[in-house]
Structure 1
């Protein structure tokens, strides 16, 4: 684990990220808050591209919890069976849809606790929804962010909650809204797990990673 970088270095890192991609976006396709919740729940241990491929037709048919319940668990399975753990995920989609209809009038709640109480929705999923739909500066820490945070020293931590807090505590507030998107994209396309593309890295000179590739 790298040491925590200082304020000025972190500000320079995010200034460069912003210059390269001023408005980074999540890659999961959705049409409203409900389909975003479903898409993020389906993305656990699956790629965004794989989820998008499965949900394009699903969301044309069922873009509300009421329509998803009408489709039923088997109907959901037919659309998402190319995604890992599809049976369990279909079960959770139906369960969370039922709760949204019964307890929230079909409307997705915008509190982290309420979102986390939905089946198949953890803290990371809740934070993605809060950030992408309500533009709240929540930090959804996945494996990419955990790796980048600890390699670079931007937001080191022993677990995902510690990394989340390190982002909140150390990234300047004007970069908080998009911080997790910049870090995810950096980890997905440049600071990859096995052979990071250090030569193509925007922040190579600021990063504490000792085993830089040539």
Structure 2
């Protein structure tokens, strides 16, 4: 089906647990040159998803330029907040980085009272990717266009479900926006990331899904 053209509001961004700079010139003089050991990049989603792919590309280039190994650690779940929490709790030495999205950096802590970190706990390095979002249909539905999707779901309220990368994520909010604008009734199925969501969609265990390209 034709993709629903919805630009992802929160482009993927890289953040760190705290500032990389020490407090005084004396501290700089005593500290070893950075980096002097391997760097860990935390991705708050399972391997195989778009954020994971971006993280691995960044990690490869970072390792080549800095001359130190860069390890990718996938900590999927809770809309990316599990990985973000680990980075927020890490030592502020620049050796634990986060490749994250608007989900865990700006949205999740607004909808989940259990989140104990905030945007103030990270120092942004820079935006590394911006991706459009699309609505995808399982082959079992026979849907190939946005019009066919709207017609099918509107005639069968409550029958169909759509998946996203987790509650409170940008993909979840996009799915709810599609429902609201089309006056549609579907059940939301949260996943730990887009990789398991893709498997269920291909396996015809789910009718629709919201993805990033």
TM bin, normalised by shorter chain, reads under 0.3
The structure with the greater share of residues assigned to helix is: 1
TM-score (norm 2): 0.26
TM-score (norm 1): 0.26
Q: Which protein has the larger Cα radius of gyration, Structure 1 or Structure 2?
A: 2
The structure with the greater share of residues assigned to strand is: 2
Point out which structure has higher relative CO (alpha carbons under 8 A, 6+ apart).
2
